[in-house]
A and B are shown apart, each in its own frame.
Chain A
Amino acid sequence: MRPTKTVELLVGLFVAAGVLALFFLAMRASNLAEFGGGEGYRLIARFENSGGLKIRSPVTIAGVRVGRVRSISIDNETFQSVVEMVINHSTITLPADTSASIYTEGLLGEQFVSLEPGGEEEYLKDGDEIELTQSAIVLEELIGQFLFSKAEETPDD
């Protein structure tokens, strides 16, 4: 059976539409587009408590997303949380005294790492560690502290 010209055309259109759909999913619906511009570099930060931070949580500077968390593990000696993140844009250089904090987006949103650049002349390189860190705010601890201080305030009669 030889395909007619119409059949060939229709099959061509079908394949093109399918590939286009895949392209749409890749570029429009997923995060593939954000991987442009080089491999980026890794940074490590140790937190007392990384809270609800997850793998692939965003890393931001001044509210702009510049990378993602790649892995979270536990340091067996200090019992700190070791967060490894990848900065996607290799053009972004961070001073050595940059600090990292874990914040929550909105009241119930997901948690992310925020980097605040310092003022030193030297820059962080691939694999370097961020020394200044601030842990995630755990809501239960906060409420506990609040109740505790309230209880102290009230004079007992």
Chain B
Amino acid sequence: MTNRERDAQDEPFVIGRLRHLGRLTLNVFGKLGRGAFFLFWTLLGSREVLTRPGLLIVQLHSVGVLSVLLIAISGLFVGMVLALQGYTVLSDYGAEQTLGYMVAASLVRELGPVVSALLFAGRAGSALAAEIGLMKATEQLSGMEMMAVDPIKRIIAPRFFAGFLSMPLLAALFSTVGIIGGYLIGVDMLGVDEGAFWSRMQAGIDFDEDIVNGVIKSVVFGFVVTWIALFEGYDAVATAEGVSRATTRTVVHSAFAILALDFVLTALMFGDF
């Protein structure tokens, strides 16, 4: 039995809990600090991305292009479900003409940015975390440092910007495909008047208030999700288990961050105060 274990056995239960709590707090804040520094160095490394656009394009492919199919199919189904559900409620009040507005407003304001960010965290975020974590576990990152190549500039920064740029485009695709899905169900299947579907949508959706705010949301989500994913990978314990934990944490923390930030942003943008 080591000294420390003996101490732990002798001390009262409360002290043990307190010590545990203290370590937890220190860990959380330490990680937050490391994360902030990590973000700072990544942003500083952005110059490297501008001088080597090739690095960015390769990452835009693996982060953005490969997510398109998932985003488009999900968007289509979300739009179709919105139209079906909205129709059953709206037709009770004889207001099925506003179906287009309802579908477009929910997609552009909320579901487009949020659901595509959640999918993005699952599809691209986990892949980024696993990739970086494995690079660390197999000492590729230290190898690069040995060769005087800064892994933050060479590996992290291009991925960060790729995620940050892809997210608004993916969210816009999601909303667009969703509106088309809502149109297919609402107009072609349920028989809502086509003219009313589009004109109510155009009358209700404001460019500055709805679309620009939706894009701002998705930019923020893209920033946060990519940051979390890259940092979790970079900060992972260099073992197989560490990489698996980093991947899990990426998805869980991203989901929390997206939903919490969405509330804050919505309150700021659409709250009347």
Residues of A within 8 A of B (CB): 1-3, 7-8, 10-11, 13-15, 17-19, 21-22, 24-26, 28-34, 56, 58, 108
Contacts and interface: CB of A to CB of B under 8 A. Distances in A.
Contacts of A19: 169
A58 B176 contact: no
A29 B60 contact: no
A24 B108 CA distance: 12
Contacts of B206: 30-31, 56
B207 A2 contact: no
B173 A17 contact: yes
A1 to B, nearest CB: 5
Given A29-B108, A31-B202, A7 B57 contact: yes
B47 interface: no
Query: Closest 9 CB pairs between A and B?
Result: A18-B169, A21-B172, A21-B176, A32-B207, A30-B205, A3-B57, A30-B207, A22-B172, A14-B65
A18 B177 CA distance: 11
A110 B10 CA distance: 73
A18 B210 contact: no
Secondary structure dominating the interface of B: helix
A33 B104 CA distance: 16
Contacts of A24: 176
B64 interface: yes
14 contacts: A1-B58, A3-B57, A3-B58, A10-B65, A11-B57, A11-B61, A11-B65, A14-B68, A14-B169, A15-B169, A21-B177, A22-B168, A25-B211, A28-B198
B168 A18 contact: yes
B218 to A, nearest CB: 10
A7 B93 CA distance: 51
Contacts of B168: 18, 22
Given A1-B58, A11-B57, A30-B210, A25 B172 contact: yes
Nearest to B202: A31
Nearest to A33: B202
Interface in B48-102: 54-55, 57-58, 60-61, 64-65, 68, 93
B61 A25 contact: no
Contacts of A10: 61, 65
Output the residue of B170, B179, B203, B215 with the most chain A CB within 10 A. B203
